[in-house]
Chains A and B, each alone.
Chain A
Amino acid sequence: MTIARFLPLLMLLASLAQAQTPASQSGAVAKTVVGPGNTDLADGATALRVGNAEDGVRLTERGLMSASSRRERVAGYSNLCAGLAMLERLDEALEACNRALELDDRHWRGYSNRALVYLKQERYPEAERDISVGEELNPNARTLKTLRAMYRDAVDPVAPSIIIDDRREAAGDDADR
């Protein structure tokens, strides 16, 4: 379960830098909106993406102090939330996610990151609610699919079982023999 919980976190962090370059996502002319304008936020996202939570949080906090737009602040607080969650500073992470979502209540990554915090806090109803909102905003996000699986494993755990059936009747009478 521990590893299973860590994997989606890495996936969350892997998506952080993308949050800072929305132009490239849409296939439009590459135009970095946040990165070059706020190198601390960009470097913080990079650090988080490679799993360096301490540097990621430090740089992101510094970047937030010089954030010059709402978009930068939303991305910054969302990334800060993910980094603090990595450091198991869950209450602070929740506060950062809440700030991101106060600034933009349609930021699916904010819901995704907050859902992870709720899962870590075993606040499953809140986690489910945030996963659902995130899925409405971005139905194809792999991160949310992983979080959904984590949520299911937490509240409705299952064990895989495989039956290998070599009986002829299992093959059926119309087997191509």
Chain B
Amino acid sequence: MMRTGSYRLPAALLLWVLNVAAGEPAVTHVEDQGLERVPLNTVAPVYPAVARGERIEGDVQVCFNVDREGRPYRIAVRNSTNRVFEKPAIRAIRASRYQPLPADQPVPAIKTCRTFRFRLEPVPAD
């Protein structure tokens, strides 16, 4: 899994490519402004080798709560197009962190949801 720092820009939509190093998937993070909890350390899931070998793409939506310290809990898959992606998605959420809340701010009960889209892009043959 790749750990990535998170930062925010004034734009309504933030999109950045985090890593295109050889052998690691390119990771793009898209988010709204004004999210209830601010990502601090976003971990990208591993692309399962089996899925890659069989050229399987898919989406997994995971919903969870975030505690005061920024740790996700009650992590559950809400939607998934293929079970092969679910474990990597859950592991990535478990390893991710959000910004902690100040002591005087209540922890929102609202769930946070994140969708992972696993894609395979064609590349020129050697």
Contacts and interface: CB of A to CB of B under 8 A. Distances in A.
Interface residues of B, number: 41
Given A148-B53, A176-B63, A160 B118 contact: yes
A154 B125 contact: yes
A158 B120 contact: yes
25 contacts: A148-B53, A148-B54, A149-B53, A152-B53, A154-B125, A156-B125, A159-B25, A159-B26, A160-B52, A160-B120, A160-B121, A161-B26, A162-B116, A163-B116, A163-B117, A164-B114, A165-B30, A165-B31, A165-B114, A166-B30, A166-B32, A167-B13, A167-B31, A170-B61, A175-B113
Given A164-B114, A175-B63, A158 B28 contact: no
A162 B44 contact: yes
A166 B119 contact: no
Interface in A121-172: 145-146, 148-149, 152-168, 170-172
Q: Which of B29, B50, B55, B113 is the most central at the interface, judged by chain A CB atoms within 10 Å of its CB?
A: B113
Q: Which of A165, A168, A176 is the most central at the interface, judged by chain B CB atoms within 10 Å of its CB?
A: A165
Main secondary structure, interface of A, reads: mixed
Contact of A166 (B39, B110, B124): B39
A167 B32 contact: yes
Main secondary structure, interface of B, reads: strand
Contacts, number: 119
B54 A161 contact: no
A166 B15 CA distance: 11
A162 B61 contact: no
Given A161-B25, A162-B117, A163-B119, A176 B78 contact: yes
Nearest to B122: A158
Nearest to A154: B125
A177 B25 contact: no
B115 A165 contact: yes
B42 interface: yes
A42 B13 CA distance: 63
A160 B56 CA distance: 10
A122 B46 CA distance: 29
Contacts of B123: 157-159
A95 to B, nearest CB: 28
